[in-house]
Chains A and B, each alone.
Chain A
Amino acid sequence: MIRLLLPHHLRNLAGTGREVELDVAEPVTQRSLIDALEDAYPPLRGTLRDPATQRRRPFIRFFAGEEDLSHEPPDALLPEAVLTGKEPLHVVGAMAGG
């Protein structure tokens, strides 16, 4: 299972807790993980990536351990620690104004 930590607004929208666990088909990438998240929690569709372009929204960041994966290609494999469930993938709303 892949562990995912969601920010406050997305937890409220999905009606879930801070951490969700997802069964993601291999290969486990940012793209397949978000696909699985949106299938499991339909209210989150379009919140992490733009529905038209499928690109990560500019103020969304993905962290694992102390590594920023935000700029990795969407089809790159996630780190081993995330794949084994040792580390969660953090979905972070970037720090920005008001």
Chain B
Amino acid sequence: MTAVRVLVGTQKGAFILSSDGRRTGWEVEGPLFGGWEVYHVTGSPADPDRLYASQSTGWFGQVIQRSDDGGRSWNPAGNGFSYQGGTGTHQWYDGTPHPWEFARVWHLEPSYDDPDTVYAGAEDAALFRTTDGAATWTELEGLRTHHTGPKWQPGAGGMCVHTVLIDPSDADRLHVAISAAGVFRSGDAGQSWAPANRGLQSGGIPDPDAEVGHCVHRITRHPSRPDVLFMQKHWDVMRSDDGGDHWREISGDLPTDFGFPIAVHAHEPDTVYVVPITSDSEHYPPEGRLRVYRSRTGGDEWEPLSAGLPQSDCYVNVLRDAMAVDDLDPCGIYFGTTGGQVYGSADSGDTWQPIVRDLPRVLSVEVQTRP
């Protein structure tokens, strides 16, 4: 029977939400790794029972957990995240040089075809890869040692690689996004990197169209169109039709184009979802009304989706890794909030229901669709 598994990372542990294909009744399991910050939990596309989780605390550092049975049992895996060679410096908040220091893994991106191969996006900004199921990790130091690295500055949440995209048609083609450096891409499986930020305009940096320095919050794509990328930037929703060579703004008629997550419908490559947030200094929905906005035209024209979502006195945020879609028809959309709610829609966003209401602050949401 078709089933959906929603993997939720929160500030105090992880949760697994399970349902059948109707997506009306849900089982909630957790907290897993209770008390730890779980920035991300995700599953392998090649083996849905292989899960990985990134847990950390300020006390005990970084731990990677691995499950081989769909989350019923977990074992600590390797946590040796060492920068290769000389670490050098990036810019600190005050513009002074600051040595690269590993803090945590923000995002885990498993390979499409090998459950043992996973990329890990880290703070301070670096990309690691395992090819042995998370026993050992090796930095792809070409990213961190890019000649622009000394100019990179952290965003308010830290200087992190928070997005890793693998081209489904060519595993050597990668995109990453870094707050606050921007988008970088590689055509050689992460050995070398080039900025891909042309067309971005950021008012908060001295040179608004600089090669690097943009606070990109999230990028995504539909697997059938690897060269079409969608971006939620600090301000502005953007689109590229050439794999990141050029970007153009598609904010259109959004009430505000500040936000964090962005997602694409599983079956409609031009249907895109964002959650507008009031401003960079007010991280909550405009007018206290939680609304997802959907574009069915690949951007520019957006419609609010509010049925089932709180339309008064709602002042939560939705973080960059906290929105995901399932593969069912109609497509399911899920997101988690800083208030601990996880909402789901089983009809492409037309209506919503809370799956759980009182989890810790939600840091990430991933979805697995199982036949």
Contact = CB atoms under 8 A, between A and B. Distances in A.
B102 A52 contact: yes
Please classify how large the interface on chain B is, using the bins under 10, 10 to 19, 20 to 34, 35 or more.
Answer: 10 to 19
B58 A59 contact: yes
B79 A57 contact: no
A46 B59 contact: no
Contact of B36 (A9, A43, A57, A58): A9
Give the dominant DSSP class at A's interface. loop
Nearest to B75: A43
A45 B79 contact: yes
Interface string B84-109: 00000000000000000110000000
B55 to A, nearest CB: 9
B311 interface: no
A57 B76 contact: no
Contact of A46 (B35, B57, B75, B80): B80
Given A45-B79, A51-B80, A9 B61 contact: no
B240 interface: no
A46 B79 contact: yes
Interface string A18-55: 00000000000000000000000011011110111000
A1 interface: no
Interface string B58-79: 1111110000000000011001
Most A Cβ at <10 Å: residue of B57, B59, B80? B59
B82 interface: yes
Nearest to B36: A9
Nearest to B62: A46
Nearest to B100: A52
Interface string A47-80: 1101110000111100000000000000000000
A60 B62 CA distance: 14
Contacts of A43: 63, 75-76
Give the dominant DSSP class at B's interface. loop
B79 A9 contact: no
A72 B5 CA distance: 48
B82 A51 contact: yes
Given A13-B76, A59-B58, A96-B58, A47 B102 contact: no
Contacts of A10: 60
A43 B61 CA distance: 12
Contact of A57 (B59, B75, B81): B59
Contacts of B76: 13, 42-43
Contacts of B81: 51
B139 to A, nearest CB: 12
Interface in B28-61: 35-36, 57-61
B83 interface: yes
Contacts of A52: 82-83, 101-102
A50 B57 contact: no
Nearest to A59: B59
A42 B135 CA distance: 11
A47 B63 contact: yes
Contacts of A8: 35
B107 to A, nearest CB: 20
A59 B57 CA distance: 10
A42 B136 CA distance: 13
A87 to B, nearest CB: 23
Contacts of B75: 43
Interface of B: 35-36, 57-63, 75-76, 79-83, 101-102
Given A13-B76, A60-B59, 16 more contacts: A9-B36, A9-B60, A13-B63, A43-B76, A46-B62, A47-B63, A50-B61, A51-B80, A51-B81, A51-B82, A52-B82, A57-B59, A58-B58, A59-B58, A59-B59, A96-B59
